[in-house]
């Protein structure tokens, strides 16, 4: 659906989304820039009809700029993909750890997706947003799936009170749920069982979760004991199985294999008398961060997974389960860019040139955490010739605080705007106040309008939770 670039970009123009035909929509996860990216007659990058330089003048930098069209397009493509390729019931739920905030929940909820949350805080955020949007308690409960390998008793109580589905990760949680559930008469707790399917995929070690040596989920050799235990519990309503095998995956095979493994276990669970009718295959589809990345489209991924589940069910002779996917990165990653302002630079002859920006590892910890790569354009001079290799550095007191090593850029000057692409997932949600930098603002852009969705933190926000013990004052 996207023309694979064959040459290195000469100007910022080469990063714009390239439509193959007028009628096919791009898959957001295959596009470096958001789908609405354009160059206006000031030679500035425009997203959602908003000039990026104007946004920086208005909201300051660093600034997260989230394109509503791209986010909604990814939601549609997941939903429509299931409708086209899966013959049973299906549901797409957003892995909100990628970016959890009221406005993000708001946009995605209006696209009829559900939400996966992994902590009391994400649960609270999602519940608050949905309540403000006017959803009933029952609708909210039906939309939320609660994950986590070490949910606290308080978090489990919070989930039970809400009535959302709990994805049970381990024995302690299972037993705690049974104890808590017995104190609530006439209520069955909807659960899914998470298992470690033993599937390897080629991605960074920290974001691989499906191989057997993983902290997540039940080991397969425990599952039959789990099934027979659950079959005895009146307070539990075990609806199905879940597995998530990793993130930023470009291959289709792992999820096809996963479908086979999960369907086998569904069948075994059913033999224990459990009505397992839901199959949650997790998320993990990758996005394009650099010209070299070549992920399958959302449609291709859904097609592969759907067909594998249908084939496995046919083979096992079981009815099609409700199929659930829970994408995070591929839903929101490509919908956002981060705009920084260029400051100082340092040229080390014959070694490299550093160009520093006004943020870094506090607003995007992925490069220092996972050695992740990103792409950049000069947002205020999109047609300038790309003729320099520089390292874009952050402003933190760490040598490792590098945004992009060996970035290809035109000549830059202090005050220029650097736009880093693909920052919608695991940027704001992993942001910190390291070096006491206030977290950036975020705007939602669409049709030439920019709405503030996260206020920039102030210095007062930084000391809000600080306490100065009385004894120090004397």
329 interacts with ligand PLP by CB under 6 A? yes
Tell the smallest beta-carbon distance from residue 428 to ligand PLP (Å). Answer: 14
* ω into 361 cis (within 30 of 0): no
Restricting to residues 205-224, which ones interact with ligand PLP according to CB under 6 A?
none
CA 213 to chain centre: 23
Nearest to 228 by CA among 180, 184, 174: 174
Tokens of 373: 């790569």
| DSSP H or E stretch at residue 165 | strand 165-168
Tokens of 236: 């539990």
Restricting to residues 130-159, which ones interact with ligand PLP according to CB under 6 A?
147
List the one residue from 283, 360, 410, 424 that touches ligand PLP (CB under 6 A). Answer: 283
Restricting to residues 107-126, which ones interact with ligand PLP according to CB under 6 A?
116
Question: Is residue 251 annotated as involved in ligand binding?
Answer: no
Nearest to 56 by CA among 458, 465, 445, 320: 445
List the one residue from 95, 156, 238, 310 that touches ligand PLP (CB under 6 A). Answer: 95
Give the CA-trace dihedral at 64, 69, 75, 77, to 10 degrees: -130
CA 11 to chain centre: 29
How many of the other CB atoms lie within 10 Å of CB of 310? 18
List the one residue from 98, 174, 357, 361 that touches ligand PLP (CB under 6 A). Answer: 98
Asked if 397 is an active-site residue, the reply is yes
Q: Which residues pair with 167 in a beta bridge?
A: 192
Restricting to residues 392-431, which ones interact with ligand PLP according to CB under 6 A?
425
239 interacts with ligand PLP by CB under 6 A? no
282 interacts with ligand PLP by CB under 6 A? yes
363 interacts with ligand PLP by CB under 6 A? no
CA distance 237 to 260: 24
Binding segment toward ligand PLP, per CB under 6 A, in 21-29, 46-54, 224-232, 279-287? 279-287
Rounded to the nearest 5 percent, the helix, strand and coil shares of the chain are 35, 25, 40
Tell the smallest beta-carbon distance from residue 56 to ligand PLP (Å). Answer: 28
Instruction: Tell me which of 137, 201, 397, 467 is the catalytic residue.
Output: 397
326 interacts with ligand PLP by CB under 6 A? yes
Restricting to residues 3-22, which ones interact with ligand PLP according to CB under 6 A?
none
Q: So which residues are the catalytic ones?
A: 397
Contacts with ligand PLP, residue ranges (CB under 6 A): 95, 97-98, 116, 147, 244, 247, 282-284, 326-330, 425
């Amino acid at each position: 659906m996207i023309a694979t670039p064959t040459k290195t970009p000469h100007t910022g123009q080469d990063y714009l989304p390239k439509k193959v035909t007028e009628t096919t929509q791009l898959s957001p996860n295959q596009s470096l820039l958001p789908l609405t990216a354009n160059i206006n007659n000031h030679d500035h990058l425009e997203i959602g009809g908003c000039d990026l330089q104007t946004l920086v003048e208005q909201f300051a930098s660093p600034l997260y700029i989230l394109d509503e069209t791209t986010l909604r397009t990814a939601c549609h493509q997941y939903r429509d993909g299931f409708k086209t390729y899966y013959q049973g019931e299906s549901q797409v739920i957003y892995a909100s750890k990628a970016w959890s905030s009221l406005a993000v929940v708001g946009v995605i909820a209006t696209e009829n997706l559900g939400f996966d949350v992994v902590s009391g805080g994400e649960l609270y955020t999602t519940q608050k947003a949905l309540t403000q949007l006017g959803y009933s308690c029952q609708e909210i409960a039906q939309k939320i799936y609660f994950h986590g390998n070490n949910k606290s008793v308080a978090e489990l109580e919070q989930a039970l009170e809400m009535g959302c589905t709990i994805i049970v990760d381990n024995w302690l949680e299972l037993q705690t749920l049974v104890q808590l559930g017995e104190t609530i008469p006439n209520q069955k707790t909807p659960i899914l069982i998470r298992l470690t399917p033993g599937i390897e995929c080629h991605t960074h070690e920290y974001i691989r979760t499906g191989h057997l040596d993983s902290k997540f989920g039940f080991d397969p050799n425990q599952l039959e004991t789990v099934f027979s235990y659950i079959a005895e519990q009146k307070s539990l309503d075990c609806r199905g199985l879940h597995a998530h095998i990793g993130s930023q995956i470009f291959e289709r095979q792992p999820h096809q294999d996963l479908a086979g493994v999960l369907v086998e276990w569904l069948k075994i669970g059913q033999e224990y008398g459990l009505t397992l009718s839901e199959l949650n295959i997790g998320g993990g589809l990758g996005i394009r961060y650099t010209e070299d990345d070549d992920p399958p489209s959302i449609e291709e991924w859904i097609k592969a997974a759907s067909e594998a589940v249908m084939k496995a069910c046919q083979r096992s002779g079981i009815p099609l389960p409700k199929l659930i996917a829970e994408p995070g990165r591929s839903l929101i990653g490509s919908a956002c860019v981060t705009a920084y302002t260029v400051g100082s630079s340092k040229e080390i002859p014959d070694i490299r040139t550093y160009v520093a920006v006004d943020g870094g590892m506090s607003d995007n910890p992925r490069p220092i955490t996972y050695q992740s790569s990103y792409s950049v354009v000069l947002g205020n001079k999109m047609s300038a010739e790309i003729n320099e290799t520089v390292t874009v550095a952050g402003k933190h007191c760490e040598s490792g605080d590098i945004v992009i090593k060996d970035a290809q850029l035109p000549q830059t000057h202090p005050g220029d705007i650097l736009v880093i692409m693909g920052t919608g997932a695991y940027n704001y949600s992993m942001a910190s106040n390291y070096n006491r930098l206030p977290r950036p603002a975020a705007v939602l852009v669409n049709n030439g309008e920019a709405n503030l969705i996260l206020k920039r933190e102030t210095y007062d926000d930084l000391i809000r939770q600080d306490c100065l013990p009385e004894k120090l004052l004397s």
